[in-house]
Chains A and B, each alone.
Chain A
């Protein structure tokens, strides 16, 4: 049985060969399969795997660009950068993160809450991406960190730059920068490409408006790394590009001066060049500390800002809405003159109140102003006179003039916090309130109460456009922003002081857009404003400048918070005796110098009482400061070729 016969052997050998043939066929099939796989990987999908291989091989670390600076009109940096000391951490370089954090806590001042947040970030991102443990440590912490660095694997001390604001006088208009939030990443497309951990972006004000350009271009370092993330060699470095710097029209000195004047008040001041619309000053008070926002806000400070009833975070110059009060009387009078409703010398008798359909409308002067014409109406701010004018004029014609002069619409570009206010008329009421207009409301509108809402900047623009003779200007805050200013016209006027030319010729030659039908009407209003500030009996007479150089023409106003009851009126209750929250807002608008207007100003003091008492003194001081610096400004203008 164990010694096969010859025949047996042959049959067996044939069987073996037959079966081997089947196996060989199977081998060929497998071979083809392997070759096919090689073709698919190495030829068809080569580029895909090439990319993956490069992705393995190269790693990029992004570098945050330096933010551009913001300068004032005299090239002083009002939002600059300073060197800061930071602690970065690359999680994958640390063997034991928990232990590292315990050690770090003994060296740096880190709270448990912060550690918790850091751990959450680490869990979310790639292990080689650096996280910022602390973005602003003191020099002594920094040197201590360097001393213990050998114990802290993965930790990297970094000297970086961060936003720094020299003071908080311009905090509102500049805005502030802060860490990118998840919402920012969703809503701001330009951040998608740009985002680097630890980068700050503008959250409000100019910082936000300019963010896209001021932020710069990110740089990167590209390294070849091995499978353990160790950098083998640097392949490429791109430093990125610092953001664009911007020059504003603001005067930092005036900002500081004004800010000091408004300290502890809830107030706002705007100053504007009446010819080219340059905003010289824009201050809202109380202010906040913008530097606090740069490196993560402390809860305590945030709470104190939020709870403050004077609303320090609101930029009152463009976000605060107030009834314009008596400051609107300039436009009511102008509108009536332009529409030929009244003549300058038309008289009304003010007895302290009028009655309309049984409703009483009071003048602020209980005794009444007697016989009142236009000039006296503005000078004494007689309410009854303007009730009569408004009644004849009608609210629709008034609203047309008010809109023409810049009320009811946004003035600046790109400030999300700016509000447009309300210039009411019959259509507006129908649309937004759904009711018909009552005549009584026209009377309230005539003295700037009721539905009227405006920002201090709008009132400043209104005054500037009256002051420059009634021509439209386009306010600007950035020096290089387009502005249809009146410089050609002013140049011509300065060179040919004694050669008046007709208005229509002016318009065609200098591309002016007049807001009037008859310039004489503008002059009448300016004259009336002069009397209000500089003649006895005028509402701001006590705060005039005798010096011709500073003489201003203005208009007071107060916007009512609560209407007086008849009893209060009888008792002649003074504003000062009311609770703070019930007091009127004090307003004052003016232009100066009267002879040769250069600047317009608007002042608002929340709950300040009457405009004459609370707002005018502030305007007086600011006007002097601005005019004292006018020559400097002129010179700076000449240097950069903008002759005014």
Chain B
């Protein structure tokens, strides 16, 4: 323990910079550039509001990511619960002071940006549980009384977010939390039991669903049910992607998006637009970049010595992967439209901020990989 402390104190600025994962940084940067191109295309080939603000956000949060990388992993560990509580308070704030837009209350007006705390909570929950499972001993992990706190910290934000209503984000938050629990060694039995409980509660949950949410699920099961209504998005998205073919229609040539057939093309359907213009090869390129990022984060988990770092990196890598594939499967018609942004690519400050925040912590695990957290 003493030795490792000395290692940590001996890290020079140069060592720290050299120990950054440059493949990860480069992948994120390329993805950012690609996202700017895609945003430029959604603006119809002009440098308009969406593109400008996306560029600004990307560089601000990319800088933030690099900055956070140099913050001690020990700091993240010690402040995990505080961070979670802070985000939870923000979520509560949404409930009372939030902005309502198109029927749901998700944002806090911070004057310089509209913050969506539910995006931050994705990271906050992982951080909290990583610390929690890092600290309890392996014998206690499957004790029922030690399951109590994780369930509370998982379900409490879930209810707040689901009632905004924002079912998609709620599910993604849950996915991150469950991943930590799974990695920490919580028995399959508990997952199975909670799965059963979930199914049992499903009819009650459905009764709380708004009509548009019900119709989305029905539409997913049969998109042609209502081609001009709820199924419209899935159908148009599939048409756009399918018509892109192998090489795509060309940059700025995506007729589906250019002629406004694509809904939400800045946000949830950005991949559709890219896929239409750059075809199968373009889509594979994007998939490759995401796979690279997911792999590099997981790799940090391999080399970092603390279980807190491992739990965090593995969970974040998996959650990141889930965000990506849920969005892609959604636009490819493999999942219902639940409303989840594509990390980094999609337009949206809170999502970008949350992802960069998460990446920063992961990178900090790399820089301080040999530093014990307690």
Contacts and interface: CB of A to CB of B under 8 A. Distances in A.
Q: Do A and B come from one complex?
A: yes
Interface of A: 1-4, 8-9, 11-13, 15-17, 19-20, 23-24, 27, 30-31, 33-35, 37-39, 41-43, 45-46, 48-50, 52-53, 56-57, 224-228, 232
A42 B185 CA distance: 40
Contacts of A56: 236, 239, 255-256, 259, 261
B184 A52 contact: no
A4 B306 CA distance: 12
A471 B329 CA distance: 84
Contact of A48 (B184, B242, B259, B291): B242
B243 A46 contact: yes
Main secondary structure of the interface of B (DSSP, over half): helix
Nearest to A224: B259
B259 A227 contact: yes
Given A3-B374, A42-B275, A50-B242, A19 B332 contact: no
B334 A226 contact: no
Nearest to A58: B255
B324 to A, nearest CB: 9
Identify the 6 closest CB pairs spanning chains A and B, nearest first.
Answer: A49-B242, A53-B243, A227-B260, A226-B259, A42-B280, A41-B242
A228 B232 CA distance: 13
Interface stretch (B68-76, B132-140, B201-209): B132-140
A51 to B, nearest CB: 8
B257 to A, nearest CB: 10
Contacts of B301: 20
A12 B307 contact: yes
B138 A227 contact: no
A35 B287 contact: yes
Given A12-B185, A35-B284, A42-B280, A50 B328 contact: no
B249 to A, nearest CB: 9
A3 B310 CA distance: 17
Interface residues of B, number: 48
Interface in B343-372: none
A39 B279 CA distance: 10
A548 to B, nearest CB: 81
Contacts, number: 132
B168 interface: no
Contacts of A20: 183, 298, 301, 314
B283 interface: yes
Interface string B225-244: 00000000000101111111
Contact of B314 (A11, A16, A228): A16
Given A31-B291, A34-B287, 6 more contacts: A9-B307, A11-B138, A12-B185, A19-B183, A41-B242, A41-B332
Contact of A38 (B185, B243, B280, B321): B280
A13 B307 contact: yes
B328 to A, nearest CB: 6
Interface centre among A12, A24, A46 (most CB of B within 10 A): A12
Contacts of B291: 31
A31 B289 CA distance: 13
A43 B283 contact: no
Contacts of B138: 4, 8, 11-12, 15
B183 A38 contact: no
A38 B239 contact: no
Contacts of A24: 298
Contact of A4 (B135, B287, B298): B135
B246 interface: yes
A57 B255 contact: yes
A227 B314 contact: no
A249 B279 CA distance: 65
B318 interface: yes
B136 A2 contact: yes
A281 B284 CA distance: 78
